Structure 1
Amino acid sequence: MAIPQEGERVQIHSYKHDGNLHRVWDETLCLKGTNRIFIGGNDRTTVTESDGRTWITREPAICYFHAQHWFNVIGMLREDGIYYYCNLSSPFLYDREALKYIDYDLDIKVFPDMTFDLLDEDEYELHRRQMDYPQSIDHILTHNVDKLIRWIRARKGPFSPEFIDEWYERYLTYLR
């Protein structure tokens, strides 16, 4: 697998289980790239949906992807604190075109006080039937929802108090 280089600007491509492109983030700055971890930063980047509609992100964000975990985490820096959006997804891969993953619909939204909501269970059920997710995927995702909740409660990894702040500071050094 190729490895994104620190300081490189990369696209992020989200796919669905059936192989269709779901969403593209136009530009994310690589802050750390290894064969196991990608940490990136972006602010006001263009996002293109599968139907061609575009929108622009509203705040700075630090993105955490891991090649062995079935989720990714986006920490969004807002005036009233850090909000996290966690996508249950395949582990990422990077092929020099983009950082890529499969989005499996389930999401966890985490608020600045570290309370959280599990989202899109109905969408997951619909797509699980439509795209015939194997039972093994269902088990993996259930396990990773539990893992994410443990990480949130323990403030582990990207949920640790200093994680987003430290990586955001590094992101700002590239912009100067």
Structure 2
Amino acid sequence: MIIPKDGDKIKIQSYKHNGMLHRVWEETTVLKSQSNLLIGGNDRVRVCESDGRTWRTREPAITYFTSNYWFNIITMMRNDGVYYYCNISSPFIVDDEALKYIDYDLDIKVFPDGTYKILDEDEFDIHRRQMNYPEVLQKILYKQLRTLEQWVQQGKGPFNPEFPEKWYEYYLAYSK
């Protein structure tokens, strides 16, 4: 696996379990990179969907990827507070093309007041049947969903109130 340097610009590619490309974020600035962790930042970045649609993100975001857990976290700085969108996913890898992971549909959206909602359980149910997710994989994914909920409740990792501010400052420094 390639370990990008701080300040590098990389693409992020998400796939589905069947290997099909799901979504591509065209550019993210690497803020911190280690073998098991990558923190990035972007703002109004172009996103390409598998069906060819493109759109731009609406606000600055800090991305958190770890190879120690089966999830990634997007911290979004909006005018009315910090939101989080968390994907249950495979651990990430980085090659010469992009940072890559498999998106397993289950998501958690966290609101500025700390409340959260689990999303897309219906989509997960459809895809687990269509793509024949093994039972062991399903157990891993639900266990990771519970771990992610604990992180939210405990203010751990990116949910620590200091995280968004610190890493957004780093992003602004690299953007100059």
**Partner amino acid, structure 2, of 1:18:** N
Matched residue type, 1:74: I
Matches of 2:4 and 2:127, distance apart in 1: 31
Query: Secondary structure of the equivalent of 2:104?
Result: strand
Contact map agreement 1:4 1:30 (CA 8 A) in 2 = yes
Which digits, 9 at most, give the CA deviation of each residue in 1:90-132, with x for residues without a partner?
A: 0000012100000000000000011000000000000000000
Matched with 1:106 is: 106
Q: Is contact 1:4–1:96 with CA below 8 Å preserved after alignment? A: no
Q: Which amino acid aligns with 1:132?
A: N
Percent of counterpart pairs with the same letter?
60
Q: 4+ residue stretches of structure 1 with deviation over 4 A?
A: none
- Is residue 83–residue 112 contact of structure 1 (8 Å, CA) maintained in 2? yes
Does 2:49 correspond to 1:29? Answer: no
The corresponding residue for 1:130 is: 130
Residues in 2 aligned to 1:137 and 1:76: alpha-carbon distance in whole angstroms? 29
Give 2:118's aligned residue. 118
- Residue in 2 that maps onto 1:56: 56
**Where does residue 13 of structure 1 map in the other structure?**
13
CA distance in 1, matches of 2:49, 2:41: 20
> What is the DSSP-based 3-state SS (H/G/I as helix, E as strand, rest coil) of the residue aligned with 2:88?
strand
After superposition, give the CA deviation of every residue in 1:136-158 in whole Å (9 maximum; x if it has no partner). 11011111111001000000000
Whether the 8 Å CA contact 1:11–1:26 is kept in 2: the answer is: yes
Unaligned runs of 5+ in 2: none
The 1-side partners of 2:74 and 2:161 are apart by 14
1:139 corresponds to which residue?
139
For the residues of structure 2 that align with 1:119 and 1:31, how far apart are their CA atoms? 28
Distance 2:110 2:80 in 1: 13
Please tell me the residue identity of whatever aligns with 1:123: E
Q: Please give the TM-score of this superposition, normalised by the length of structure 1.
A: 0.99
- State the match for 1:167 in structure 2: 167
RMSD over equivalenced CA pairs, Å: 0.5
TM-score by length of 2: 0.99
Equivalences, count: 176
Specify every segment of 5 or more residues in structure 1 that has no aligned partner in the other structure, as ranges: none
What is the SS of the residue equivalent to 1:91? coil
Measure, in 2, the Cα distance between the counterparts of 1:114 and 1:141. Answer: 22
Q: Judge conservation of contact 1:88–1:103 (CA < 8 Å) in 2.
A: yes
